Amino acid sequence: MTGTSADQASDEAGAAERAGAAPCRIVVCRDCCCGSPKVTGLDHAAQTARLREEAPVRVSDCLDVCDQANVVVVQPSAEGRAAGARPVWLGLVNDPDATEDVTAWVRAGGPGAAPLPDILDLHVIAPPRRGLAANRRAAPPDP
């Protein structure tokens, strides 16, 4: 009996985690803009599946950076975290080449374990300031 490549990647990631080497993790935004027809020319399901071949993927609701859709966040592995790495936010990951650049970096170790490729440096965005975004949404309109 054989599983899918996503199953195998998940099994390998689980084995690495059990061995004490937690892999990179990827968060993909799939809500109001990211993963929607608003971002044209990209098979969003195929992108998510391709990322899952390299690392565990969590699909998230809106990450509040809609002007940068599609947003992908690469969280460091245990090794990367030990080296002081923080999650890296990538925006405008809107074509298969950009997805392949992300998967290659994750395969190499990701944040803190492998240098960020120059091509991905073009995709790096600042994470939203959640407190400010929440305050703007909750603020009453000006009189």
Q: Roughly what angle, to the nearest 10 degrees, separates helices 44-52 and 96-108?
A: 10
Q: What is the DSSP string of 73-103?
A: EEE--HHHHHTT---EEE----SHHHHHHHH
Beta bridge partners of 110: none
Contacts of 12 (CB under 8 A, 6+ apart): none
Contacts of 76 (CB under 8 A, 6+ apart): 24, 83, 85, 86, 87, 110, 111, 112, 113
Per the model's pLDDT, the better-predicted residue between 42 and 86 turns out to be 86
Give ∠ CA 93-37-61 in degrees, rounded to 5: 65
Q: Are 36 and 94 in contact (CB under 8 A)?
A: no
Whether the per-residue pLDDT at 114 is higher than 90: the answer is: yes
pLDDT in tens, 17-58: 434 467 999 999 998 888 888 888 889 999 999 999 999 999
Whether the bond between 94 and the residue before it is cis, its omega within 30 degrees of 0, is no
pTM score of the predicted model:
0.77
Per the model's pLDDT, the better-predicted residue between 15 and 72 turns out to be 72
